[in-house]
Amino acid sequence: MRKIDWEQKLSDEDIEWLRAAGFMSEEQIAQHQDQFDAKVPEPEIPDDPATRSALDASSRANTSAETGDGPRLVDPTQADPQDEEQDDYDQWTAAELRDEVNVRNDDENTGPVTVEGTGKGGAVTKADLIKGLRLWDAENPPPPEATED
């Protein structure tokens, strides 16, 4: 790790390292340099667009990104309250769930339902069947419905 003496102006190498590491914004670097009446060198940004954003500290340092809601933690054993069409697997019997798994596994157009047994001795529980079906549903969304013109 690079050691920086904060009691004096930053060297050009220090500034280059801070920019590459993304530890400080350009404003913070400028504020520090202003304390010592030192100039901040212009960042060297390559002409190559593929590496430009990787080396341009302003593209990643101390900027908020609009990423929507971000990732959601989902428990496949529970119905997702944000899903418009919620399944009712919790209401099914274990036999009905097994039958549904078998029907989907027999379908040649889709992948198999993966069910891992978490019960005693690796036995498949009702929760395991529900988890497998919900994961399969997430990986195999229904095709969009055709609209009538």
Is this structure's pTM higher than 0.85?
no
| pLDDT (0 to 100) of residue 72 | 62
What's the structural domain count of the chain?
Answer: 2
pLDDT band at 63 (very low <50, low <70, confident <90, very high): very low
In this prediction, what percent of the chain has a pLDDT beyond 70?
Answer: 66
Q: Give a yes or no: residue 78 inside a domain.
A: no
Which structural domain range is residue 29 located in? Answer: 12-59
CA-closest candidate to residue 131, choices 108, 149, 114: 114
Please tell me whether residues 55 and 93 are part of one structural domain.
Answer: no
Give the burial class of 35: count Cβ atoms within 10 A of its Cβ; 0-12 exposed, 13-18 middle, 19 or more buried: exposed
Lowest-confidence segment of 1-15, 61-75, 81-95, 116-130 by average pLDDT: 61-75
Asked if residue 44 belongs to a domain, the reply is: yes
Q: Is residue 67 part of a domain?
A: no
